[in-house]
Structure 1
Amino acid sequence: MVKRGADEATRKRLRAGRLLLRGKKPAEVALEVGVARQTVYTWKALLDEGGIDALRSVPSRGRPARLDESQLEGLRRAILQKPTEHGFGTELWTLKRVGMVIERLYDVKFGQTQIWRILGALGFSVQKPEKRAIERDEEAVRSWKRTAWPALKKKPGEKAD
């Protein structure tokens, strides 16, 4: 995969390096760049030893991603479709269903926690389905609450039969 430009972490490191070269204190740089102060001290040691290029060439941390950017974009498009278009019986996305779509499309299996993280990174959030009927008549409900409900409601001190 060919990378275009620097990723966000690299941009932060380079920005911090330039600020340090201008004489800013690590604590100020940490606040401005939005990282922990200790992180800036680590970057400062790299900067002092190898210059700004040393900050550019810091290797990525963690396990390599199992889905690349184009696959994540394909997943986003798939989730924006209705679940019924993917063969599910209802119009509700669940972590399990998203996992099944990922497995079908890319032959990669994730746990529910990782699926949750992927969805968050794609900008999706938890949505609770509306529990009210689509056909619900709000005016009829208000009218019932004003007239019928008070007659049915127990009064303080009344006992049930």
Structure 2
Amino acid sequence: MVCDHRGISSDGERGGAVGGDVAPLTRPQTAEARRLRAGELVERGHSQVEVTRMVGACAESVRRWKRRMEQGGQAALRRRPASGRPSTLTDTHVEWVRQALEAGAQAHGFDTDLWTPGPASPGVRHTTGVELSHPSVWRLQTRLLDWSLPSARASRPRTR
């Protein structure tokens, strides 16, 4: 069975725009809201089938959330801190990188304004003093800065 991961608002409704000056929820925030809403519905006595339909999740996810809630209450449904090595970049570093990248690649001496991880890596190092691998720069651009990047195939010139 494939899980359906549609956005659920805090009141359990699907989709819909939020007020103009309110930032949209991130994917982890939306997932947490869905889990917490499912937990509330289970506590109110709704069946797992009803909860599955109401929050737009697959049955296995609702069963897993119910087990976690039985073991640790609503707190067990909250987001857990990221595991692994802490980030080398501070929030200030990320803001510096954002400003540098928003100036455009051409402002930093490149032929095109396309910021792929290759050209962006020296920029990150120059701006922050922190050396990041290309995959780390990609994660920085896509996750922290929420940029959409072209695929590696699209950014390379075609050869025939």
- For normalisation by structure 1, the TM-score amounts to 0.54
The one-letter amino acid of 1:81's match is A
How many residues align? The count is 122
Highest RCO, 1 vs 2 (Cα 8 Å, sep ≥ 6): 2
Pair 1:123 & 2:123 matched? no
Question: Which string of whole-angstrom CA distances, capped at 9 and with x for unpartnered residues, describes residues 20-49 of structure 1?
Answer: 223344455456546554443332122112
Q: Distance in 1 between matches of 2:77 and 2:105?
A: 44
Question: Which string of whole-angstrom CA distances, capped at 9 and with x for unpartnered residues, describes residues 5-30 of structure 1?
Answer: xx615433322211222334445545
Per-residue deviation, 1:50: 2.8
Query: Structure 2 regions of 5+ residues with no counterpart?
Result: 1-27
Query: Structure 1 regions of 5+ residues with no counterpart?
Result: 1-6, 132-161
8 Å Cα contact 2:116/2:149 also seen in 1: no
Q: In proportion to residue count, which structure has more helix?
A: 1
Provide the secondary structure at the position in 2 that maps to 1:109. Answer: coil
- For normalisation by structure 2, the TM-score amounts to 0.55
Question: Which string of whole-angstrom CA distances, capped at 9 and with x for unpartnered residues, describes residues 62-98 of structure 1?
Answer: 3255135443343222211122433x24233331121
Pair 1:63 & 2:84 matched? yes
Based on CA coordinates, which of the two structures has the bigger radius of gyration?
1
Alignment of 1:117-156 (within 5 A): 117-121=139-143, 122-126=146-150
Change (3 A) 1:70 1:37: farther
- How much is the aligned-residue C-alpha RMSD, in angstroms? 3.4
